[in-house]
Structure 1
């Protein structure tokens, strides 16, 4: 009987996420607030339905009463977040809020399937972060002096990265972790937010050539340190983010294409100078010839994705735990195997929907500093999704990057929620100012009449 329910549930989950994905894009076309709110209510129902079905399967399969307890805590958290955020911030982006919660829910489900203990830890960190980030949209408007601290952001970021270089702990070939009092965290996850604030602050002031050289040197220092730490994914994210921010701030294509050319040259040198870079490229080209060693992880990932097909094996019907580091770097493979290729495609589309919303927010902001922050965080988010999905599908060499809001990792989940909250704050700020402008116009109109 359980097998029948599991088999039926995988098709139902695909239908639920497909409908949610449709709404996630369809809502962009609605100008009527009533239609938008009606759609967002439907999106909430879809999230709760998916959450319930998956945890029902998890309980029926494991017979572990703790699964029901975890489900109850997650359900309460989802309801509280939806209620409190919309109550405190009348003008918030419900699109961003719903997408964030759905991605978190997918992550909770898959982590509970892979490792209950890790799922509990992830849930606790995410819940605490969601509570703390409730004040971020308010702080964005109040802290006017944030735009004056550009060089400070950069210096603090470099010092944090250097601390890893000297006192860091190596994990899976990269020295990008710090262990303090038994807790391990990844400073680069937080430095990337400081990096965006720093570059946005500096580029919003001046864009003459001599000044740009200094800002570029600051950005290059971050990238170089990450390369030395063998954090290639992080280095790529910082590099691409800076190029896009520089191009938007200066409107100079020459800077952008010169940066790309320099990046290609640096990649060529890195391939010949660093053995771990050559190994990753060789694994990308032909993982099957190295399947017993370096190519094992990518090979198992491809097996999992292929085994799942379009409709998936169903929760607990696959073998995702055969993939090393499956709960963090390769969680997309586990989702593809047990939830199906169609589900995985919809997941990517939801990420793209979030990115489109981020870019819309950036385009509508008049303040250059805020505009560049929204743009920079948008690029970090979507490029991280690209690196994560591209690495596990062998579209690009694996860079060890997590899938935002879905993968296991305290530092990753914390920084991802902060990024969503900052952009949410920028959206609220823009909406509040538009409302104030409309009120002043109405008062003027009444006064003239």
Structure 2
């Protein structure tokens, strides 16, 4: 009976998530009625709660673990609190970003609970605390103007923290990634990438002259070099791509971008010969089955899991994701594809893409150049991290050890992504406020024009009288 319910539920979850994904893109259409758009967002929330209930019902029936019922209710309270708090405190917030943030965390909690209840519980606690902290960020971002003037403080903070990790950090998978404080493991590069975006935006906001570009490039290169020395090449690649995109958009000079990409390609070749773990990952990417016992073990099992799941998946608790090393972090996308299916996995990618498109949309509509670059930089980091994570899991590119934001296990990754989403929400609020003010000014001008026309028709006033009446009308308004 349990197997039958599990088999049926996987189709239900695919349908619910597909409907949710459809609403993501239909709400992005131009000239959508506000009431219709709000209705789409409400439907998304319903789909999310139904998927969540379906998934935990299957997990409970499969494991008979009473703790799952309590854990499920705690998550429902958490998601409801997030939705309500954003609705109360930020009435003009982007509901699509809020819904996607909750949906991605929901999927992460579900798959982590299937893999390890203790890890899922720890991830949930981190999410609750992180959400409470980041809930204030949109308010401050939309009002604090001095953040654009802290250029060299951003640079100093980023380089210092990366330097500390390079010297004192613990080695994990051949790279110095983190250190522990009071028993809590922190990966500073996850937070420094946000500071780095603010630094680059501040530099190019001040000027895009050649000397300014040289200064920014030197500091950016110093960030990347420290990461390379720490052998955290995945983070170094994210920093590099974010800088190149921001540089091109700020200067509009293609030769800057082309030159940077050529230097990056040369550096990647050098890294192949300098670092053994880079060669291992390249060998595993080229032909993982040929080195299945050693280098290709992770990638091979990842491909087996994706292939076994097919389009509709094996069903929750029916696959063998434990065979994939680091499945909770680097290869969680493979576990999702195995048990929830290829269609579900594609929808997951599309939801992430909708977030990325929303970030770019906000960047394009920001009037202030500094905030435009911030939105662009954070969007690039988010989008490129999705590409690295999923690309490594499906053997499209060599594995870089990058987590899937909001889904993979990891406190630093979760908190940093929630900060990115909160900053973007602050920029969205700023954009909405600016547009509201512009519409208000336009409306006032239109009212004045209508009043002038009314006076002309009523009394046939002269040009001189129009000026006088116009002054009176303006004073009155």
Normalising by the residue count of structure 2, what TM-score does the alignment of the two structures yield? 0.93
**How far apart are the structure 1 equivalents of 2:263 and 2:151?**
24
Higher deviation after alignment, 222-231 or 356-365: 222-231
Answer whether contact 2:17 2:47 (CA < 8 A) is retained: yes
Consecutive aligned runs of 4 or more in structure 1 exceeding 4 Å deviation: none
What secondary structure does 2:177 align onto? Answer: strand
**How far apart are the structure 1 equivalents of 2:78 and 2:388?**
30
What secondary structure does 2:398 align onto? Answer: coil
Residue 404 of structure 1: aligned partner: 405
How do 1:307-322 residues align onto structure 2 when only pairs under 5 Å count? 307-322=308-323
What secondary structure does 2:308 align onto? Answer: helix
**How far apart are the structure 2 equivalents of 1:193 and 1:165?**
19
**How far apart are the structure 1 equivalents of 2:156 and 2:21?**
41
How do 1:102-141 residues align onto structure 2 when only pairs under 5 Å count? 102-141=103-142
What secondary structure does 1:28 align onto? Answer: coil
How far residue 185 of structure 1 moved from its aligned partner, in angstroms, is: 1.1
**How far apart are the structure 2 equivalents of 1:66 and 1:323?**
26
Render the CA deviation track for 1:202-238: whole Å, top value 9, x for unaligned.
1111111112111101001111111111111101100
**How far apart are the structure 2 equivalents of 1:89 and 1:443?**
26
**How far apart are the structure 2 equivalents of 1:362 and 1:86?**
23
Residue 260 of structure 1: aligned partner: 261
Render the CA deviation track for 1:92-148: whole Å, top value 9, x for unaligned.
111111111110100000001101111011111111111221111110122111000
Residue 199 of structure 1: aligned partner: 200
How do 1:35-434 residues align onto structure 2 when only pairs under 5 Å count? 35-434=36-435
What secondary structure does 2:264 align onto? Answer: helix
**How far apart are the structure 2 equivalents of 1:237 and 1:447?**
52
What secondary structure does 2:134 align onto? Answer: helix
Q: Which runs of 5+ in 1 are unaligned?
A: none
How far residue 199 of structure 1 moved from its aligned partner, in angstroms, is: 0.5
**How far apart are the structure 1 equivalents of 2:311 and 2:87?**
36
Answer whether contact 2:141 2:426 (CA < 8 A) is retained: yes
How far residue 182 of structure 1 moved from its aligned partner, in angstroms, is: 1.3
**How far apart are the structure 2 equivalents of 1:188 and 1:68?**
36
**How far apart are the structure 2 equivalents of 1:424 and 1:402?**
22
Residue 22 of structure 1: aligned partner: 22
Larger Rg belongs to = 2
**How far apart are the structure 2 equivalents of 1:12 and 1:389?**
24
Residue 13 of structure 1: aligned partner: 13
How far residue 434 of structure 1 moved from its aligned partner, in angstroms, is: 1.1
Over aligned residue pairs, what C-alpha RMSD do you find? 1.0
What secondary structure does 1:177 align onto? Answer: strand
How far residue 74 of structure 1 moved from its aligned partner, in angstroms, is: 0.4
What secondary structure does 1:170 align onto? Answer: strand
Residue 463 of structure 2: aligned partner: none
**How far apart are the structure 2 equivalents of 1:346 and 1:405?**
15
How far residue 447 of structure 1 moved from its aligned partner, in angstroms, is: 4.7
How far residue 56 of structure 1 moved from its aligned partner, in angstroms, is: 0.5
Answer whether contact 2:283 2:295 (CA < 8 A) is retained: no
What secondary structure does 2:185 align onto? Answer: strand
Higher relative contact order (CA 8 A, sep 6+): 1
How far residue 293 of structure 1 moved from its aligned partner, in angstroms, is: 1.4
